[in-house]
Amino acid sequence: MKYMKMLLFALHVVIGVGALGGGYACIVEPMAPLGAPLSMLEGSPFDSFLIPGLVLFGLFGIGNIVGAVLLAKKFKWHGYVAGVLGSGMVIWIVIQVLVIETIAFLHILFFFIGVVEATIGLAMLLQADLFPAPLVRKVVLKLFAPSKAAQG
């Protein structure tokens, strides 16, 4: 688990710093952040990159930096933080791909980074025996425990 937490810390920092930069660019130049054409938003509910930039800056930027700090401070419920941030990133990427109707390498990369982040969060919850650990244990026992009829 030590190496998974180190990986998670690195992911939080890299995602956080990148999202702060990208979100900031969208906030200060909402019509063409970092050269992104406004036409990318056609078919979306947005007229500019301002709202996506605020989400990127707040949720994924500040959220991941706070996540890194909480992980370093050994916050008991950090598994939930990682799970929310990782799942949120997966949802963010899926929606982004559907809106802009393009899949780029970075979409695939950050989709899998979100999956890794959420999976490590779940592993932390299971190790700490926090919800959903009792539920997972119950389901696994039902699926893999030998039935009484088969025993004898």
| Averaged confidence pLDDT in the chain | 92
Q: What pLDDT score was predicted for residue 152?
A: 52
pTM of the model: 0.85
Q: How many percent of the chain have pLDDT more than 90?
A: 73
Show the domain range for 17. 2-151
Backbone phi, psi, residue 90, to 5°: -60, -45
Q: Has residue 71 got a pLDDT over 80?
A: yes
**Which whole number is the average pLDDT over 95-105?**
90
Q: Per residue in 74-86, pLDDT tens? A: 999 999 999 999 9
Q: How many domains does the chain have?
A: 1
